[in-house]
Chain A
């Protein structure tokens, strides 16, 4: 069972701040085309990328210095609020406005809420202060993935795959051999795994200058539907907090169009923050590891897509976090669909 429909009442990473400027950028999010841009006061805006006239993509249009967006098909023009302010052909203003999405720009990330704007609640966002905290440094980016969001989610919630898929970098036998604790808090799913006195995987050996044995901790938190934060620490065995090396990885798992997903990532650390070489090495490694995941998930996507009837899957105990993640998303989706249905039930007129 793998979901292909998307939860929309939730925050997704829509873009990194440095991706969006005074040019129009299209990005599909939960099957909705979205056009991102900045107004002259630098505030970021996201509107549905379909012109209300004949649905031409607004991202193929123009943004002028006053922040007026013009559709380049027949010339509809929209102000900063997305309200149509005119069209070249006629004097009166067509009645039209663009759908605008709730956005939060914080710590260099732009979060978008593609669903009911009334429900957009900033408090559901994870803490990202480490992305701008001067005692941390990080790299970030986005990788395209031709696989459904749920496969990425399960990939991140079940890190036992590191042992098999990433043996030359971050995985070794200790990962799969150590059981995890899984916690659920409302919709959120967390897991933690403590690997004590293990052989240091190559990435950590190089990143932290450590030799085996090491203690390695992984604490993952899934903020459904699309945010995952991994806390990593590695320390020489026997040393305790705060001697460990801390890293954090943020993943924005943002459904795109069809079964495509934007795989946003940020990898941060709180040690040797001025070491550019290390930053470069870690970024390369991060991308190499993600490529291994992308290749695997794209291969897996084909297998799910060509088996729509869904032959039974087999599951094992280490799937628990991923299975709970699935349930969390499935429940959100069910809630959303129920709410939509309720909204469609015609209200009988109240008798006065």
Chain B
């Protein structure tokens, strides 16, 4: 699930049926078929990179930075992975896959079953995250979210654009492709969380600049934070790619490591929620009864009105609009950005 998703969950146009053409039509010069795994290489803790070539020996379609392919697993499930090798190499494709023990099993399957010489069914490429021309780029990558940024960086470099990259991750050993990035000197800032804590987004992004485009891929918490920082940038300046369903039970970013203070206004009490404990549990421990059922951010029974503070949404249920409204949250999984919340409990 940490593969950058091509089909960002909330972006498929819904009018498809209304438009008269049956929805879901896919056309163009996509490849659909079997590829052979030429190499499989561990590139970080729990990350393997796979080099693929068409099993038929034919050239693969060309692609642009930001593109991804669908890997169709024998289980019938489909997972998206960004292409991260050199653009223009029509003999090989490279993807990187993070093993996700809490995911839906796709990445686990790849980690456990894909071997050199083995075959995979793939489709694509498609691009929902295209790099637009600009004179200056700021790239922000979190964890495996570095993958679509690699070819973007190569392209920006080739176009002699000004660019810099801020790359965060849990620990240095969890961050893939560091050696490849080394050659870029000061343009690349590597900030593993265990040494540096929260990414200094404010310092890196600076003030809005009309000639700059921001590209970000990573866990939901990081993207949300970048979005917040870019709120007053010109429309279109920020370009993001979300991981499919990344919001589910991911320690989205550094905020999971911070205690938060939650005021329960109706009950007139305040609880401190340490990292590792859910707001729901902390509220229950304080003796305030709340409904809950799944405790996974799915069912919606723990939905609570938010009076103040900014929510770090981690559930699967709320829509983007509902999240943006910031007036409700699922307290079994979601937390706070900025360390404080006031709830109507």
Q: Which residues on A are within 8 Å of B, measured CB to CB?
A: 1, 126-127, 129-130, 174, 177-179, 181-186, 188, 190, 192, 194-198, 217, 219, 221, 229, 231, 233, 238, 240-242, 246, 248, 312-317, 319-320, 323-324, 327
A182 surroundings in chain B (CB, below 8 A): 9
A313 surroundings in chain B (CB, below 8 A): 293, 299, 301
Tell whether, in the assembled complex, residue A183 and residue B298 are in contact, meaning their CB atoms are under 8 Å apart: no
B18 surroundings in chain A (CB, below 8 A): 126-127, 221
Chain B interface mostly: loop
Tell whether, in the assembled complex, residue B78 and residue A246 are in contact, meaning their CB atoms are under 8 Å apart: no
Is the C-beta of B265 less than 8 angstroms from some C-beta in chain A?
Answer: no
Tell whether, in the assembled complex, residue A178 and residue B77 are in contact, meaning their CB atoms are under 8 Å apart: yes
Pull 26 A–B residue pairs with CB atoms less than 8 Å apart, ordered by A.
A1-B301, A129-B20, A130-B20, A181-B7, A181-B244, A183-B10, A184-B319, A184-B320, A185-B14, A186-B321, A192-B12, A192-B23, A192-B24, A194-B24, A196-B76, A196-B121, A231-B23, A241-B26, A312-B301, A314-B294, A315-B294, A315-B300, A319-B298, A319-B299, A320-B298, A323-B300
B244 surroundings in chain A (CB, below 8 A): 181
Tell whether, in the assembled complex, residue B11 and residue A320 are in contact, meaning their CB atoms are under 8 Å apart: no
Q: How far is the CA of A86 from the CA of B248 in the complex (A)?
A: 66
Nearest CB in chain B: distance from A187 CB, A: 10
Tell whether, in the assembled complex, residue B17 and residue A231 are in contact, meaning their CB atoms are under 8 Å apart: yes
Tell whether, in the assembled complex, residue B9 and residue A238 are in contact, meaning their CB atoms are under 8 Å apart: no
Question: Do A241 and B17 contact each other (CB < 8 Å), given the known contacts A177-B75, A195-B76, A315-B294?
Answer: no
Question: Do A221 and B23 contact each other (CB < 8 Å), given the known contacts A192-B12, A196-B72, A314-B299?
Answer: yes
Closest 3 CB pairs of A and B: A315-B299, A184-B319, A185-B14
Is the C-beta of B317 less than 8 angstroms from some C-beta in chain A?
Answer: yes
Tell whether, in the assembled complex, residue B294 and residue A188 are in contact, meaning their CB atoms are under 8 Å apart: no
Give me 15 other A-B pairs in contact (C-beta within 8 A), A190-B14, A196-B121, A317-B298 excluded: A183-B11, A183-B12, A184-B321, A197-B74, A219-B17, A221-B16, A233-B22, A241-B25, A246-B22, A248-B22, A313-B299, A314-B293, A315-B293, A319-B298, A323-B317
Nearest CB in chain A: distance from B319 CB, A: 4
Tell whether, in the assembled complex, residue B22 and residue A231 are in contact, meaning their CB atoms are under 8 Å apart: yes
Chain A residue nearest to B33 in the complex (CB): A238
Nearest CB in chain A: distance from B260 CB, A: 26
Cβ contact of A126, chosen from B17, B248, B294, B298, cutoff 8 A: B17
Q: How far is the CA of A129 from the CA of B319 in the complex (A)?
A: 30
B20 surroundings in chain A (CB, below 8 A): 127, 129-130
Cβ contact of B76, chosen from A174, A185, A241, cutoff 8 A: A174
Is the C-beta of B184 less than 8 angstroms from some C-beta in chain A?
Answer: no
Question: Do A190 and B12 contact each other (CB < 8 Å), given the known contacts A127-B17, A179-B104, A233-B24?
Answer: yes
B293 surroundings in chain A (CB, below 8 A): 312-315
B25 surroundings in chain A (CB, below 8 A): 241-242
Tell whether, in the assembled complex, residue A219 and residue B24 are in contact, meaning their CB atoms are under 8 Å apart: yes
Name the interface size band of chain B.
35 or more
Q: Which residues on B are within 8 Å of A, measured CB to CB?
A: 7, 9-14, 16-20, 22-27, 32-33, 72, 74-78, 104, 121, 244, 248, 291, 293-294, 298-301, 316-317, 319-321
Tell whether, in the assembled complex, residue A221 and residue B17 are in contact, meaning their CB atoms are under 8 Å apart: yes
A195 surroundings in chain B (CB, below 8 A): 76
Tell whether, in the assembled complex, residue A188 and residue B301 are in contact, meaning their CB atoms are under 8 Å apart: no
Nearest CB in chain B: distance from A352 CB, A: 39
Q: How far is the CA of A327 from the CA of B16 in the complex (A)?
A: 22
B33 surroundings in chain A (CB, below 8 A): 238
Q: How far is the CA of A313 from the CA of B300 in the complex (A)?
A: 11
Tell whether, in the assembled complex, residue A219 and residue B298 are in contact, meaning their CB atoms are under 8 Å apart: no
Cβ contact of A317, chosen from B13, B17, B24, B316, cutoff 8 A: B316
Nearest CB in chain B: distance from A32 CB, A: 27
Tell whether, in the assembled complex, residue A240 and residue B104 are in contact, meaning their CB atoms are under 8 Å apart: no
B298 surroundings in chain A (CB, below 8 A): 315-317, 319-320, 323
Question: Do A179 and B72 contact each other (CB < 8 Å), given the known contacts A217-B24, A219-B24, A312-B301?
Answer: no
Nearest CB in chain B: distance from A237 CB, A: 9
